[in-house]
Amino acid sequence: MMKSLKLYFTLLVSALFLALPAQAQDVEAATEQLVQATETLVTESLEAAAVAIETAAETIEAEAEPVAAQPAATKSTQGRDNADIDQNFSVGTALKKFVSDTGFKGFADDWRFAVMILVAFVLLYLAIVKKFEPLLLMPIAFGMLLTNLPGAGMFHAELFAGGHVHWADFASGSGVGLLDYLYLGVKLGIYPCLIFVGVGAMTDFGPLIANPKSFLLGAAAQTGIFLTFIAAYAMGFTPEQAGSIGIIGGADGPTAIFLTAKLAPELLGPIAVAAYSYMALVPVIQPPIMRALTTKKERQIKMVQTRTVSKTEKIIFPIVVTIFVALLLPDTAPLIGCLMLGNLFKETGCTDRLSDTVQNALMNIVTILLSTAVGATMVGSNFLTAETLKIVVLGVCAFILSTVGGLLGGLVMCKLTKGKVNPLIGSAGVSAVPMAARVSNLEGQKANPSNFLLMHAMGPNVAGVIGSAIAAGFLLSVFG
């Protein structure tokens, strides 16, 4: 195109140059030649432009063909996929898969799930309607409910098989449920110790300090632990299991959980339920035994008011007890140490905020975590066995024997002091603080309305807390 234009201008300039000296006829001839050349140039330029346009159109069309063909191919592929889906899809198969993925199918596979949920309903009824230790039984029952929902995957007993925590599975995070993480606090002995901090902050050791003889009654009330240990071992339980069952006689839930989690974790569920249930049933179980072993005259005995304990004594007491007991039985140090730490918060008077926290907020939070995690261990395969029934029966026997042991100790002390000690306070030697002391006081007032035994009974009661912890430490040091 540019070459044609150059040629055109060259001819035009040449014609003008030649026309200057030429005559008229020569100018006319030159003009005619110039017109012909211009026509030729325009014709050639148009043809060249047409060829260029046609070539560009062919190029654009060639580049556009793959783009236009791509949606068609995709559409064809999608059509084939949709056809395959339509051919393979079945409403019946989809519904069958949905049903198999729900938890309802689990009830058909294992009937024990349904039974355990019914047991959870019974415990919820006892906690909510009958008020049997609702702060403990309610979260235990709900933990039992959660762990027995088929397919929920809240708790996996295999992560703690063999009495050990399988940390590799926890590190991977695969197949680990919420309650598995909560149960670590039980397995590692964290929750019971934190509970003991709260118990210590709510306990007044003044009556025990004022009447040190109460230690003997607290020790006598631990008789049921060792007698039940012998009975459980004779019934075929291992020494570790027998020791865990025997500790129910101490009527101390946190201590029972602490010991069982270390010696016989497979029995933790039934032992925890038995321990807390019998604590709640103290007003039902103990009074008939108290009336059977004592006369009305003995129950009417009025005891002399104990001396006033100084603040210094109350501060020194937890420190001395911690050192002595921890040196005597090192395995008891976690429980006794936390118990006395909480009591020290209370007695010093300079840590009121800490004392208030452990008595209320900390105690409530840990109770929720502990009880729910304990309830999670009650899966049908571990709970619905003949062993569970034996544990329930042996637990009752342990609690009754501990009550009897405390009462016999009270009777002996009554004889030795020539009637100055009411034997009813011996039954408070079990660790159910302060319920056992209240029951002793109530039975004394039934025999003599002017009789007030509460503060006298609190001595053996708090001694029982220390006694059950010592007994647990002894069993742990021997069989742990």
Which DSSP string do the residues of 359-372 spell out, in sequence order? Answer: HTHHHHHHHHHHHH
Residue-by-residue pLDDT tens, the chain, 480 positions: 444 444 444 444 444 444 444 444 454 554 455 446 545 544 555 455 445 545 654 554 555 455 444 444 444 444 445 545 555 557 777 777 776 777 787 888 888 999 999 999 999 998 999 888 788 889 999 999 999 999 888 999 889 887 788 898 898 888 899 999 999 999 899 999 999 999 999 999 999 999 999 999 999 999 999 999 999 999 999 999 999 999 999 989 899 999 999 999 889 889 988 888 888 789 889 999 999 999 999 999 999 888 999 999 999 999 999 999 999 999 999 999 999 999 999 999 999 999 999 999 999 999 999 999 989 988 888 788 889 999 999 999 999 999 999 999 999 999 999 999 999 999 999 988 889 999 999 999 999 999 999 999 999 999 999 999 999 999 999 997
Which pLDDT score is estimated for 306?
85
Which pLDDT score is estimated for 9?
45
Which pLDDT score is estimated for 61?
53
Which pLDDT score is estimated for 192?
94
Angle of CA points 153, 156, 247, to nearest 5°: 130
Contacts 24+ apart (CB under 8 A), 298-301: 298/411, 298/414, 298/422, 298/423, 298/424, 299/422, 299/423, 299/424, 299/443, 299/444, 299/446, 299/447, 299/448, 300/444, 300/447, 300/448, 300/451, 301/414, 301/419, 301/420, 301/421, 301/422, 301/423, 301/451
- 193: Cα within 13 Å, side-chain hemisphere: 16
Which pLDDT score is estimated for 173?
81
Which pLDDT score is estimated for 467?
94
- Longest C-alpha distance within the chain, in Å? 172
Full DSSP string of 337-366: HHHHHHHHHHHHSS-HHHHHHHHTHHHHHH
Angle of CA points 132, 391, 457, to nearest 5°: 50
Question: What's the token pair of residue 209?
Answer: 């300090």
Which pLDDT score is estimated for 235?
95
Cα–Cα distance for residue pair 447/57, rounded to 1 Å: 118
Interacting residues of 348 by C-beta distance below 8 A, sequence separation 6+: 315
